[in-house]
């Protein structure tokens, strides 16, 4: 499935991040704890590679705590990187963020050397919610100061701690097929960009392998081991009365039910990728992508000068 989504403002975001970065001490990347690998932005990693990074696994209330622990350990093992879990139920997340940033950049602090932090994340990861909690009644500054573009806002978390916000951004090309599915399932990608039935089937395939008990309990199904993904979707449609005429299941409706139950957390706490699993998907995706690029390049070389490009 090709989910390609790169609205114009994302180009602007990239420029804004590039410009801001030279005066930044720590980059906070907000990730969706249900899909940390897929909700990361490879473009951001390229832009900010040399800066200390804090990975915030947000919406941890929806994610499988055991898998969140694996991801936290995975990030904590990386150089110049720390990771924390967070969710909107935490009333005072500022303390955790401030402490983690000080660990990453211990030389910053005090009025002479305030900590300057950039916060980024793909859409729907919960950034506005977090920033609203952080700012509380304080009004965030938006573009009313020299050097702050309309795309950014500066939040003063403490006298010596500034947080720069950038609007959401996604990467230009999703090279891991599973990431496309997981982003769609999580609600990060607009509804028009994917086929709900296809995404629901893919989601069920994963749930059947890792969380069959939760699916059976929520939809009151007999054991689903050994069933095909479409059979599981049909069984769910029947249970929920998503029917067309003559006893046929409305698969589209059933798919919507599955997605809703997953997104709302009604199915239980679920994570759609583990660090080792994601590393394998990424390696395979990169291989396919490199082959695709090589073929494209070969075609370009073959093409006569000024000839039409064949895609």
Chain residues in the site for ligand G4P (CB under 6 A): 58-59, 61-62, 87-88, 121, 123-129, 168
> Smallest distance, Å, CB 106 to ligand G4P?
28
- Output 128 or 250, the one with its CB closest to ligand G4P: 128
Supply the minimum distance, in Å, between the C-beta of residue 59 and ligand G4P.
4
Distance CA 99, CA 300 (A): 51
- Burial class from Cβ neighbours inside 10 Å (0-12, 13-18, 19+) for residue 107 reads exposed
Q: Which ranges of the chain does DSSP label H, i.e. alpha helix?
A: 8-21, 42-48, 65-76, 94-104, 127-135, 177-186, 196-210, 212-219, 229-239, 251-263, 275-302
Q: Which is nearer to ligand G4P, 88 or 151 (CB)?
A: 88
Question: Could you tell me the smallest distance in angstroms from the CB atom of residue 109 to ligand G4P?
Answer: 28
Q: Which residues pair with 26 in a beta bridge?
A: 117
88 or 148, CB closer to ligand G4P? 88
Q: Which is nearer to ligand G4P, 117 or 233 (CB)?
A: 117
Contacts of 80 (CB under 8 A, 6+ apart): 51, 52, 53, 104
37 contacts: CB under 8 Å, gap ≥ 6: 176, 179, 273, 275, 278, 279, 281, 282
Residue placing its CB nearer to ligand G4P in the complex, 59 or 108: 59
Angle between helices 229-239 and 251-263 (to 10 degrees): 90
What are the tokens at 178?
């599973």
Q: Could you tell me the smallest distance in angstroms from the CB atom of residue 288 to ligand G4P?
A: 29
Count of positions (residues) in the chain: 311
The β-bridge partners of 120 are 29
- Residue 231 C-beta: closest distance to ligand G4P, Å: 30
What are the structure tokens assigned to 174, written together?
A: 């999703």
Chain residue at closest Cβ approach to ligand G4P: 126
Nearer residue to ligand G4P within complex by CB, 194 or 262: 262
CA distance 131 to 163: 10
Residue placing its CB nearer to ligand G4P in the complex, 121 or 285: 121
Nearest-approach distance from CB 51 to ligand G4P, in angstroms:
21
Strand partners, 119: 28, 165
Least distance between ligand G4P and beta carbon 163 (Å): 14
């Amino acid at each position: 499935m090709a989910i390609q989504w790169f609205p114009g403002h994302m180009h602007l975001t990239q420029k804004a991040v590039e410009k801001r970065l030279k005066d930044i001490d720590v980059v906070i990347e907000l990730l969706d704890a249900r899909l940390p690998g897929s909700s990361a932005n490879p473009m951001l990693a390229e832009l900010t590679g040399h800066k200390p990074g804090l990975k915030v696994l947000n919406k941890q209330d929806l994610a499988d705590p055991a898998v969140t622990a694996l991801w936290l350990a995975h990030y904590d093992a990386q150089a110049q990187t720390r990771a924390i879990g967070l969710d909107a139920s935490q009333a005072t997340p500022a303390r955790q963020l401030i402490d983690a940033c000080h660990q990453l950049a211990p030389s910053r602090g005090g009025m002479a050397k305030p900590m300057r932090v950039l916060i980024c994340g793909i859409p729907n990861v919960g950034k506005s919610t977090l920033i609203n909690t952080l700012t509380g009644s304080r009004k965030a500054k938006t573009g009313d100061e020299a050097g702050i573009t309309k795309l950014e806002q500066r939040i003063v978390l403490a006298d010596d701690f500034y947080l720069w916000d950038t609007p959401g951004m996604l990467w230009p090309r999703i090279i891991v097929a599973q990431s496309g599915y997981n982003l769609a399932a999580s609600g990060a990608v607009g509804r028009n960009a994917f086929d709900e039935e296809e995404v629901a089937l893919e989601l069920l395939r994963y749930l059947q392998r890792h969380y069959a008990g939760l699916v059976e309990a929520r939809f009151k199904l007999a054991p689903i081991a050994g069933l095909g993904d479409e059979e599981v979707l049909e069984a769910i449609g029947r249970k929920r009365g998503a029917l067309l005429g003559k006893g046929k299941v409305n698969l589209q409706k059933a798919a919507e039910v599955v997605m809703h139950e997953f997104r709302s957390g009604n199915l239980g706490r679920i994570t759609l990728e583990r660090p080792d699993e994601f590393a394998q998907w990424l390696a395979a995706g990169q291989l396919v992508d490199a082959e695709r690029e090589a073929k494209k390049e070969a075609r370009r070389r073959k093409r006569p000068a000024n000839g039409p490009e064949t895609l």
